Structure 1
Amino acid sequence: MGRHSPAPAPSAAASAAAAAAASSASTPPPRGGRAPRDADADSPSAAELRGLLEDGDGGAAPGGGRELSYLQAVNFAGGLLLPLRLPSAHAIHKRPSAAYLEAGTLLGEEAGRLLKLAGPLFIEGITNIGAQLVATTTVSRLGAGPLALSALVLAQTQLNFGYSIVCGIAAAMETCAGQAFGARHYALLGLILQCAMALCLLFAVPTAALWASGAMAPLLVRLGQLPDVAAAAGSLLQLMWPVLPLLVVSETTGQYLLAQGVAAPASVAGLTSLACAVPAYWWLVGRLGWLRGAPAAQVSLQAIAAVVVVAWRSARDARVARTEPHRATWRGWSFEALRGLPTYARYAVPAAAMLCAEWWIWEAVVFLAGLLPSRAEVQLGALGFVMQVSIATWTLSYSIGTGAATRIANALGAGHASNARRIFVLACCLLAVANSAVAATLWCLRHRLSAALTPDPEIGAEVRRILPAAILGVVGDGQVAVLGGLLRAAGRQSTGALIHFCTYWLFGLPAGVLLGFVFEWGALGLWMGVASATALQAVALHAWVALGLDWQREVRRSAATVGALLGSTGATPTPAAAPARSFAIAGLEEDGLTEEEEDGDEEGGGGGAGAGAGSALTSPAGAGGGSGLTSPLLGGRG
């Protein structure tokens, strides 16, 4: 907590407000009730604010009534317009109109930081879609007809199962590394990276060995696949197995950098791979044939992405260690990192379950579409085209949701509950506006879009039938992306996994089967079932955030998480930094950020909240340092 500087006697209005604040602060919370919210969440009524602001220049001492009026004027702008960092000292005496203006400016600055993270992630997602399109186009043109394309799609489906688990395990770094960086325990990030790599490899190595052994072909036949397609897919997987270990390296390293507010390597790696995709696929498939050339090209592109990300990390870590050794996040390989595996696994296992529950539902929809009794091949083809459109729109939601997860985790680690809440609300509003615009555009272009996707009249008609349902679900997808990012940032993956499983698998999939098979809506019914589950999930999670989420408690849980990782890995806690400037208003205070800390790492998106003021833990037990926490903290997960 910052120190108070002496101030002249406040005005009567300020004294009354201070007394009210002190009275409410001293009142204990009701038994079994929620802890009181942080002080800056309490807004005055319009009448109270008007009375405070009417003091004007009429004798109010500097630092008195108008000091209170300024921040309350900003507060009155609403929860979203609360300052994302407190204003500089010279701004205290501005009039309320200037307060509103500065609040809007600060909101714009935070939106800029969020978009600096989301932009590279969006580019990465689009380049991944482009690389898959290059692969399918090349194999369909140079391969052995429908067999080659069917085998490639089946092999890619098996790869997706492996991808989802690896990405889910690595996603726990959003919690652990993001909060550790916000708490300024920089050395802990390197140990968390090693934990994540080790746990991912524990899954990836046996899975890759299974693919390389050739055992997948008979297994796919037993699962009902055609023998020739299963044999070709098994042969592809025998050569594609290096993709999974390479993905472990690139995914964990990317999360390590993203936790520090550095997202540019993801886009650079994606653009580099996409630039190499066309020559690699055409040359290797043309020279080696599709059965050996396609796996060779895919492994090569994944290796390029891994090399780009690792090279970026190595160069950045070396520069930081040379110029700012106290902020160095990589201190070398250490077996001590393995002691943190149990703590990391507490978040990694539910994170993987959360991600797989969402990814695999679409695999189930595609599988069920192939079993439809009427024109299954037409409906399956139309469903594939609509899914490509949906993936493109989902990439926007994913990028902003992941950027918000990073910023929220940094803010929670720094002990800034109010900032975390504002970033969440800001991300929800940004995606609501952006996805509404995307949905309106797609609705206006739906007929032209179906004609552009396929020349087949039957498939085109089915696409036009399914597309409106997909368009209506765009806004809900965006809200779920941000809410999922919040759950990952706060370490609530178990809550997310439970909600994902209940909404998608216990409600959405049965509803889709009912509509698709019993009511004979076909692929449209299957899609409507999953879309309704997404809408239900968005409503349920928003209700949970509004009614059950205590942001101050999440700060305490974050401190406990970082403390547990410090204790298990044996990492040396970063000494508490000098307290940042704070502003005392009517007995209420909140830590601000120095300009240097607020800027953070600007490459690829600044880590503004990531360098929190005085939040360093002083013991592995999780006792708070400068975050104002003075008692041992509970670290239970939701």
Structure 2
Amino acid sequence: MAGALETLCGQAYGAKQYRKLGTYTYCSVVALTFVCLPVSLLWIFEEKLLVLLGQDPSVSKQAGRYSIFLLPALFAYAVLKSLVRYLQTQGLTFAMLLSSCVALSLHIPLCWSLVYKFELGTAGAALSLGLSYWLCVMMLGIYIKCSSVCEKTRSSFTIDVFLSIREYMRFAVPSAIMACLTTTSLHYLISYGISAATSTRISNELGAGNPKAAQAAVYAGVILTVVEAVIVGVILFCCRSVLGYAYSNEKEVVDYMKEIAPLLSLSVVMDGLLAVLSGISRGSGWQHLGGYVNLAAYYLVGIPLALVLCFVLHLRGIGLWIGILTGSAVQVLLLALITSFTNWQKQAIETRERIFEQTRADNGSS
């Protein structure tokens, strides 16, 4: 929702209505703070909601505890995103970079201390995130208050802040919806869901010594992903002439979307396969192989090819996309070969041996 400031503050700054930037930023902070209230209620009662949805009570308890201690981060994030957009629309990025670096350098030892030294566990991780966000808010707030470069865009908190809320919401709600309409990102959530399910089933069955069930989970995950990805890819390709209107009414954008739709369709298929094959890697415990495949596919094939197509052959954005898509295809091919040549019986035996060896080692340590 803070994306509304990119329109409101950006246009106000371009029109030299500098005081409006301060007003809109106050408006954003107020509006997003109110939005955080119902979200807070969901987080407070998250444990009970998860139990109602059938989640394991012990998992629900940990998730609920984490969410409650994450509440300070929620409100800090609302303020931080407003301040970031305020500075961003003015091109004042150095302050954001500096505050992020300072907060990160303090967040790591702070998180470690709260989690391990004070033994707060997940609650400590949540609290450290909130403290880091509030630190960023304080640093940016001081910068905005004291810096001469923000003098012309600073304004007082007046009744205009509340009068601007209606206008702000008119842009904020579509901004939130637009973030959910990023085609490949939205589709990847489906692929990731299948990937997570496949990974869970494989790891469970291998741990239980059921190689055939693990192999069945592989087949099920791949088949589901292929069918779903192909359907989505075909739909996107068939709708290529009108797809651009989901994002813009500009003819140039619509025409460009039509041009790149075939690449988008192929990306959907490759990303889906890559997601489920990565899930198989995680579930099987050979992430190291996946890491090597990833490095080889992108840094030895994808990125060099993208640079050549874009800057040498002057294919520009399409060239970049073809290069990265080729990297994804290589990664899918290599992971598929590893998966197809995996001896699941041996994998199950090795998995159980590793688990029991670790258990014996833990018992020995005890």
What TM-score results when the alignment is normalised by the length of structure 2? 0.55
Match of residue 280 from structure 2: 486
2:223 aligned with 1:429, yes or no?
A: yes
Contact 2:273 2:332 in 1 (8 A): yes
**1:563 is matched by which residue type in structure 2?**
F
Deviation string 1:416-438 (CA, Å, 9 cap, x unpaired) is 00000001101100111111111
1:521 to 315, 320, 324: 315
> Measured at CA, do residues 456 and 239 of structure 1 come closer, stay the same or move farther in structure 2, by a change above 3 Å?
farther
Question: Aligned partners of 1:565, 1:525: CA distance in 2, in Å?
Answer: 48
Match of residue 140 from structure 1: 6
**Structure 2 counterpart SS, 1:473:** helix
Question: Aligned partners of 1:561, 1:242: CA distance in 2, in Å?
Answer: 35
2:351 to 558, 570, 580: 558
Contact 1:473 1:535 in 2 (8 A): no
Contact 2:192 2:275 in 1 (8 A): yes
Deviation string 1:312-358 (CA, Å, 9 cap, x unpaired) is xxxxxxxxxxxxxxxxxxxxxxxxxxxxxxxxxxxxxxxxxxxxxxx
**1:473 is matched by which residue type in structure 2?**
S
**1:553 is matched by which residue type in structure 2?**
K
> Measured at CA, do residues 543 and 555 of structure 1 come closer, stay the same or move farther in structure 2, by a change above 3 Å?
same
Contact 2:240 2:257 in 1 (8 A): no
**Structure 2 counterpart SS, 1:415:** coil
2:196 aligned with 1:402, yes or no?
A: yes
Alignment of 1:348-363 (within 5 A): none
**2:96 is matched by which residue type in structure 1?**
A
**1:549 is matched by which residue type in structure 2?**
T
Residue 457 of structure 1: how far off its partner (Å):
3.6
Question: Aligned partners of 1:508, 1:562: CA distance in 2, in Å?
Answer: 37
2:92 aligned with 1:228, yes or no?
A: yes
Question: Aligned partners of 2:205, 2:286: CA distance in 1, in Å?
Answer: 16
Match of residue 320 from structure 1: none
Residue 462 of structure 1: how far off its partner (Å):
2.9
Match of residue 499 from structure 1: 293
Deviation string 1:587-633 (CA, Å, 9 cap, x unpaired) is xxxxxxxxxxxxxxxxxxxxxxxxxxxxxxxxxxxxxxxxxxxxxxx
Residue 497 of structure 1: how far off its partner (Å):
0.4
Alignment of 1:235-314 (within 5 A): 235=99
Question: Aligned partners of 1:410, 1:571: CA distance in 2, in Å?
Answer: 25
Question: Aligned partners of 2:331, 2:96: CA distance in 1, in Å?
Answer: 39
**1:565 is matched by which residue type in structure 2?**
Q
Residue 395 of structure 1: how far off its partner (Å):
1.6
Residue 542 of structure 1: how far off its partner (Å):
1.7
Match of residue 391 from structure 1: 185
Question: Aligned partners of 1:233, 1:467: CA distance in 2, in Å?
Answer: 35
Residue 415 of structure 1: how far off its partner (Å):
0.3
1:541 to 335, 345, 349: 335
Residue 236 of structure 1: how far off its partner (Å):
5.5
User: Structure 2 unaligned runs (5+)?
Assistant: 15-20, 22-57, 63-89, 116-120, 123-133, 142-177
Deviation string 1:60-102 (CA, Å, 9 cap, x unpaired) is xxxxxxxxxxxxxxxxxxxxxxxxxxxxxxxxxxxxxxxxxxx
Residue 245 of structure 1: how far off its partner (Å):
5.1
**Structure 1 counterpart SS, 2:219:** helix
Contact 1:503 1:534 in 2 (8 A): yes
RMSD of Structure 2 on Structure 1 (CA): 4.0
Deviation string 1:105-136 (CA, Å, 9 cap, x unpaired) is xxxxxxxxxxxxxxxxxxxxxxxxxxxxx34x
> Measured at CA, do residues 138 and 564 of structure 1 come closer, stay the same or move farther in structure 2, by a change above 3 Å?
farther
Contact 1:465 1:524 in 2 (8 A): no
2:269 to 475, 478, 489: 475
Question: Aligned partners of 2:302, 2:213: CA distance in 1, in Å?
Answer: 34
Alignment of 1:444-483 (within 5 A): 444-483=238-277
> Measured at CA, do residues 449 and 239 of structure 1 come closer, stay the same or move farther in structure 2, by a change above 3 Å?
farther
User: Structure 1 unaligned runs (5+)?
Assistant: 1-133, 149-188, 194-225, 254-283, 293-383, 574-638
Contact 2:202 2:280 in 1 (8 A): yes
Tell me the matched-pair count.
237
Question: Aligned partners of 2:357, 2:191: CA distance in 1, in Å?
Answer: 32
> Measured at CA, do residues 398 and 235 of structure 1 come closer, stay the same or move farther in structure 2, by a change above 3 Å?
same
Question: Aligned partners of 1:490, 1:442: CA distance in 2, in Å?
Answer: 33
When you count helix as a share of all residues, which structure comes out higher? 2
In terms of Rg, which structure is larger? 1
**Structure 1 counterpart SS, 2:228:** helix
Contact 1:480 1:534 in 2 (8 A): yes
**Structure 1 counterpart SS, 2:93:** helix
Question: Aligned partners of 1:571, 1:142: CA distance in 2, in Å?
Answer: 64
Residue 238 of structure 1: how far off its partner (Å):
5.2
**Structure 2 counterpart SS, 1:530:** helix
Match of residue 58 from structure 1: none
Deviation string 1:279-338 (CA, Å, 9 cap, x unpaired) is xxxxx9xxx99x55xxxxxxxxxxxxxxxxxxxxxxxxxxxxxxxxxxxxxxxxxxxxxx
Residue 141 of structure 1: how far off its partner (Å):
4.0
Contact 2:302 2:326 in 1 (8 A): yes
Question: Aligned partners of 2:8, 2:102: CA distance in 1, in Å?
Answer: 21
**Structure 2 counterpart SS, 1:446:** coil
Residue 442 of structure 1: how far off its partner (Å):
1.3
Deviation string 1:127-166 (CA, Å, 9 cap, x unpaired) is xxxxxxx34x233145456899xxxxxxxxxxxxxxxxxx
**Structure 2 counterpart SS, 1:471:** helix
Q: Percent identity?
A: 26
Residue 228 of structure 1: how far off its partner (Å):
3.4
Residue 410 of structure 1: how far off its partner (Å):
0.3
Structure with the larger RCO, 1 or 2 (CA within 8 Å, 6+ apart):
1
> Measured at CA, do residues 233 and 142 of structure 1 come closer, stay the same or move farther in structure 2, by a change above 3 Å?
farther
**2:240 is matched by which residue type in structure 1?**
R
Contact 2:263 2:321 in 1 (8 A): yes
**Structure 2 counterpart SS, 1:527:** helix
Residue 513 of structure 1: how far off its partner (Å):
0.9
Contact 1:512 1:526 in 2 (8 A): yes
**1:475 is matched by which residue type in structure 2?**
V
